[in-house]
Amino acid sequence: MAEYSGICQSKVSEWIKYLLVVLHETLDRLNFLAQRQGSFTIDENLDYILCDVTERQVSRSTDYELQKEFYSGKKKTHTVKNLVFSDSNTYIHYLGETYEGSLHDKTLWDEISLKPSPVTIIADLGFLGAHKENENVILPYKSSKHHPLTTLQKQINKAIAQVRVRVEHAFAGVKRLRVVKEKIRLRTSQILDRIMDIAVGLHNLRVTFRTINNKP
């Protein structure tokens, strides 16, 4: 960027920090940012809401202990992750804090405070146990060596997967930005979190205007 703009790298970095603040404040004033701060109130006008975790690849630290903290067994690389709640239109209503990739999905769930709501929450088996804490949570059936799934259970799991694919579409929308799609070399946790917050806000803006333009 410094090469294209004709100014030094230090000045580019200074401007980026400033512009990130301006962009974040603008999205906040326009109400496109997702709910945060560990507390989530679900819009009761929704038929259901989808819950999942998205991961972003980060550079491997030279510190061995930090390597272990950020290593994701699921992705087989070093990542940070965020818990997300989105609706069937891919609008993201809640974005959890940015955590190390080694943490289990259910751990991220346990960190938030869900306000009581009748809205159904559809998640995957990474949140096993959540349905015992919240009667509105629907999870796929889990098979085991001695208890294979019945035909009906397989059909239910397939139906859940067909609904849950919409949250993957939401992740794809957020990751249209290269800074969240590709490996990020920034190490400051605050910046990593702010970038994801902005990326979600920009995604929500696109979803909102696409919905408006598609109305008859």
Q: Which of 166, 189, 194, 195 is nearest to 92 (CA)?
A: 166
Torsional class of 134: left (φ above 0), alpha (ψ -120 to 50), beta (otherwise): beta
Q: What are the domain boundaries of the chain?
A: 1-30, 35-214
DSSP letters for 176-214 = TSHHHHSPB----HHHHHHHHHHHHHHHHHHHHHHHHHH
The partner residues of 57 in beta bridges, in order of sequence, read 79
Which pLDDT tens digits describe the chain residue by residue (216 residues)?
445 555 666 666 677 788 999 999 999 999 999 999 889 999 999 999 999 999 999 998 888 888 899 999 999 999 999 999 999 999 999 999 999 999 999 999 999 999 889 999 999 999 999 999 999 999 999 998 889 999 999 999 999 999 999 999 999 999 999 999 998 876 678 889 999 999 999 999 999 999 888 876
